[in-house]
Each structure stands twice: as C-alpha cells, then as structure tokens.
Amino acid sequence: MSTELREASKPGFRLGLELRQFFQKLSNGFTHPVLAHRWSTKRRSRFLSLVCAAVVLALILLFCVRLGFDHATAAFALLVVIAILSYRAGFSTSFAFLVVAYLCLSYFIVDPAFSFRVGNPQHAVLLATFLISSLFVSSLIWRIQTLDSMHLEQARLLDLTTDAVIVRDSEDVITYWNRGAEALYGWRREEAIGKVEHLLLKTEFPEPIHNLRQMLALTGRWEGELVHTTRSGARILVLSRWSSRHEQPDTSGTIACNTDVTQRRAAEKAARQSQAAYIAEAQKLSKTGSFGWNIATNHLVWSAETFRIFELPSLSMPTMDFVFQRIHPDDLNAVRTAVTDAQESGNGFSLEHRLLMPDGTVKFLRLKAHPMTNPDSPPEFVGVVMDISEQKRAHVELVKSEQRYRQLFSRMPIALRQLDATKLVQIFRQLRQDGVTDLGPYFEANPGFLQTCMEALTFREANEHAIQMFGGNASESSPVSLVRTWEARPDTFRRAMESRFRGEPSFEEETKMVTWDGRVIDVLFITARVGRVHDYEMSLVGTIDISERIRAQDSLRKLQADFAHAARVSMLGELTASIAHEINQPLAVISTSGSAGLRWLDRPQPALDEVRSSIGAILASSQRAANIVARVRAMAAGQSTARSLVLVDEVIAEALLFLQHEIQMQRVTMTFHKNASSVRALCDRTQLQQIIVNLAMNAMQAMEGAGIRSRRIIITSGCPSPGRILLRI
C-alpha cells in the first residue's frame, strides 16, 4: 500500500478532507458573483469572523482527532472554544456554534465515528453534559455582558448630565463621581472617590445632619438646598436630592443629585428685591400702605408707606396704642368698635376714619382688612390703609363747584334749559351704522324725521330766567314739548340737528321760538354739547330774547332809509346843473330835428324820408327826456323801482350821463372799460345808478380838495366767475 493510501485511510485525514471540502463549498457559495453584491461590508466582515471561528473550531476538532484525545478531553476543548465564542461573538453566535460543536462531537469523536448514532450510554451522558454545560456557560457569559453593558450605558448617561451625581456608602464615603461633579466642584473622579463627601465639600446643612438621615431612613428620599465649597474655594448653593440604595441586602448607601442654583437664587432674590421696590413705589404713588395684625399678640407689621401715612419713623415698633393715639377723637369709638368686633368674630372689616396729626392737620383714611385662612397659625389679619385726604378734598371742591354751577345756572340772566339727548344720540348712532353720513339729504327723504328728533329730546330743567321768558311756572314739572317750541322756525332746529350729527360742539343762530304760553319771540338760540355725538350727554340750551333788538334794528333801518332819501335830495340840488344839461340835450335835438323837418317839407318836392327821420329823432329824444325826468322824480320821492334784469354796462353809461356836466366842470377824464360779454343782473336800477354817482362825486370832490391836476376816474366791469359781477371804480 502506498504512502498516500495509508494516509488516506487514517480517520484524521478523512475528517480533514471532508471539512476542507465542506468549507470550500461554503466559501464558494457565498462568494458567488450574484450573491456577493447583496452583502454589505459590515455583514461581510461579520461573516468572515464567523468563518474564522468555524475554522478554529474545525482545527481544534481535527487536532483532537489526530492526537487521539479521549471523548472527555475533546468535549472540554470544544467547551472552551464555545465559551470564548460566547464572550467575543454573543449568545446567538455561540449558540449556533454550540449546536455545530455538539454535532461534530457526536459525529466525529463519539463511537461509532462518522455516525450520529450513540452506542455507549456513557457517551450519551457525555453529550448531554457537554450540551448543558455549553448552554449554561453561554447564557452566563451573555448575562454578564448584558449587565456590564447596562452599567456602562448608565455610567455614560450619568456622565452626560450636567448635574453632579454622587454615590456614597453608608459611611458617606464617595464611591462614584460623575463628570458633572467634576465640572461643578473641580475635583477629578480619582481625587474624590474614597473621600467623605461632607468633609470634602465642607457642606453646610439647613438643619443637623442626623435629622436629614432620619428622614432619609423613613421615606427613602430627602430634598433641600445645601451650601458646598468647590476646589477653588467658591461657595455655591445646590439643590440636593438624596435617594437610598437598597438593591441588595448587603449594599447600602445614598445617591445624591446636586444642581447648582446659585445664579437662579441670586436672580430670584434680585427679582424679589425689585418686586418689593416696585410694590413700595406703587404704594407710595397710590398712597396705599399694607399691614399685618396678629390678634393674639396685637403685633403689627407695617409697610414703608404705612409708616409714612402715620408719620412714624420706619425703625420704630408700631403698636395698637399708637394707632389709637393718632385717630381723630370723633372717630375713635367707631374704630375701637370695629377692632373689637374683628377680634371677637374673626371677620374682616372696612371703614373710613380720620387721623389727627401732631401739627393739627387732619388726614382721611380708608381701612380694609380680612383674616388669613391658615388653621395651623394663630389668627391674623392683613389689610391696606389708603390715604384719601386728596380725594376727600377733591370731593369737597366738586360739591362746591356743583353748588356754584347750580347757582350760576339758576341765577344767570340768560334763559338756560337742560335737555336729555340720550335717545337722540342712540338714533344718530343707528343712522351712522346704517351708512348715513349727511343728515340734510336724510331729512329731505324722510320729512317726519325732524319731529322724531324733537320728540327724542327730553326736557330736564330750566332756570328762573327761562321760566320767565317762556311764560311758564316754576312749579310745572313738564313744560310743552319741543315740537310746539319750534313751530315758528323748524328750519333752525333742522340746522341744529345737522350740526350735532357732524359732531360740532356748539350751534348758534338768530331765530323765532314759540313760548309755553303761545307767544312768538325773537331769540338768539345757542346750544352747547360736551363730548362727541356717540357719547351720552346732557345738552345745555341758552336762549336770549332779542325782540327789543330786532325792533331797534328795524327802526334803525327805517332811519337809515330816511337819511339816504335826504342824501339823494341833497345830491339832486348839487346835480341840478347836470340834470338841466342832460334835459337840454334831448330838447336841443328835438328843436333841431323839428326845424330840419319843416325845411324838408317847405321844398317844392318835400323829402319825406328825411322828414320821417327827423320825426323819429324827435320821438327818441322826447322819450329820453321823459326817462330822465322819471328817474329824477323817483330819487326825489325816495321810491325804489322794482327789481328787474338790467344790463350792467347800460346802467353805468346812464349814470355817467348824470355826471357829464360835473365831469366837464371838474376837468376830469372819465374812462369806462366795458365788459366783453353782456352781463345782466337782477337789481334795483335806480339804486345801482345812485351808488355809481355817489362814488364818482366823492372821487371828484376828493381830487379837487387835494389840488390834483391830472384827474382821472376809471370804471371797469367784469364777470370773474359765474354768478358774480365785479365793478371796480
């Protein structure tokens, strides 16, 4: 038999050959081009690790077979490999290799070889022991690794927090010190572990430490603020939360979580101080002090403003006796009664009283207090003290002002009436909501709305002068309605309503009103309103009787007309020469035309056309002379002609004819610039002529008196805008 055959006949050689073929096929299968792209780098690396582990397992198995190890030794070697794989690769991988190792041990090592049949019971026990031991070792290693991972993750999370986490044993010795503690206190973990926490940090407790330990033992928790000293010597305030450790019977200790609240407490303190300053300033501005009163001890606590109100130094101790000394004698009994009732019943109280100060001044106070609802503490009252002296004085001044107003209202020598315009304001507000912006067109579209406005105004009060003017009686509670008052001139009331709707504060107009006893009087109507149109308001209406003034004005106008008539008569005397000259002109034309006509008739062949022309000139001149005589007669009689449409330039030209003789005598150059378009005006022709004549005469007399040599009068007529005529002299 050749050497190759002898080697091939050995069990180890056969096992190695089969394992090599198996792994070669497995490697070829997973490195196939179709499957290779489906494996990521991470999975491929893990797979290669598994392949290496399988190779190691195969080599150990081959080594055991070649050296002829017994069954127990081979099983132990494979168990060691499984344990190492469990530690390095995890439970699932080790379990898979455990199954593979069990099958290899049963197939290759246990007799009969190369068969899964077990002929010897000892071998069955060996396989079962191997399987159980491998499972136990793998699960134990997996559990240990899981616990280590959890502890590492917890430690990592504790290092991530910014709070200082400290674990100490029952003797307060530090056993754990996270990075937050390192950053907060300055000691590294190696320096802090093994030290007593309270000695290392120089802890200042809010109460004895044994009290804190008792609470921790009873409840398992404690929370409060502590003062610690850092490595640099800085004192910091921390919010510390303690929890007891009792995971196992033989372990005890405390987990402390400390949060630096130094800046927070400083900010809160600053905020409280700022708030206290604001409250003190607000009390000072409002003149309102606060107080606390312990009924059992009669102890008082005052704010700074309360000390100022009672004029007591702020460092003094206020007492009830001092308070009673400051109270005005007339109010002392009322205050004592209120205080006694509060002590007996425990109910709050509110009252106003006066203080009599040492300098003799009197202050008015409003005092309010209510009990504190705390059953665990003695009965206490808290309240406010308000200095209302200025309010009282202002109220007194207001009462005096009201009295003065009432006296002025009743005794004013003007008829004053108060009207309640509440309903009217509501009506106007609704109109504005409906989109009405101008009351004039609304009156046109709604004729009955004017009476609605009259009825919406309610009469409230009238002074003595109004009662006398309107003929009423002071004992009458409701005079006639406003509808009757405005029967004579409803247009005035309409304009007053339009003024109110526009929001104007007042309205004034001369008009006529019907009195309560039926008379019609001439009055100056004035109304004043306070506030805008949408506000609730009382309208004050003033009425002045101007009947005498109207009659005086009528007499004055009549007298002025008489004076004007006398002036016209006087002027006629001055213009006699001019008038004679004007009349002589048409008479001369009549005489000349008559003579010419006779001559035309005396010819052998009478020129009838010329005669007819002469007669026409005679008629025109006679009509002109008649017009001149008529105007002179009207001016002399003081009569006014009726208004009619006249050409303005024609009236001016006629007036200049009256002045022709005077113009020549005064050596005045008269220039008249007529309007380009013929302008007509509805006027009194005679009065317009009189105005032009008067102005021209005044001008000539003024120039003569001033000694002016170059005397010029220029008259210009024009129409600067539609409906407007301008005469410039």
Q: Assess whether the previous peptide bond of 375 is cis (omega < 30° from 0).
A: no
| pLDDT band (50, 70, 90) for residue 712 | very high
- Tokens for 361, please give them: 């001044």
SS3 label, residue 659: coil
Instruction: Check residue 666 and give its pLDDT.
Output: 82
| pLDDT band (50, 70, 90) for residue 228 | very high
Report pLDDT digits (tens) over 497-537: 998 888 888 889 989 998 888 888 888 888 887 555 445 46
Q: How many CB atoms lie within 10 A of CB 28?
A: 9
What number is the average pLDDT over the span 537-552? Answer: 81
% the chain with pLDDT above 70: 76
Of 63, 97, 70, 103, which Cα lies nearest the Cα of 81? 97
What number is the average pLDDT over the span 113-131? Answer: 71
| pLDDT band (50, 70, 90) for residue 34 | very low
What number is the average pLDDT over the span 281-302? Answer: 81
Least confident segment among 242-251, 281-290, 703-712: 242-251
Q: Which residues pair with residue 381 across a beta bridge?
A: 293, 371
| pLDDT band (50, 70, 90) for residue 573 | low
SS (H, E, C) 671-683: EEECCCCCCEEEE
Mean pLDDT, the chain, whole residue set: 78
Instruction: Check residue 19 and give its pLDDT.
Output: 46
- Tokens for 36, please give them: 């290779």
pLDDT at 295 over 50: yes
Of 114, 209, 206, which Cα lies nearest the Cα of 168? 209
DSSP 173: B
Residue type for position 446: N
Instruction: Check residue 46 and give its pLDDT.
Output: 58
Q: What angle do CA 629, 635, 638 make, to 5 degrees?
A: 135
Report pLDDT digits (tens) over 382-440: 888 888 888 888 888 887 777 776 776 666 677 888 888 888 888 998 999 999 999 98
SS3 label, residue 22: helix
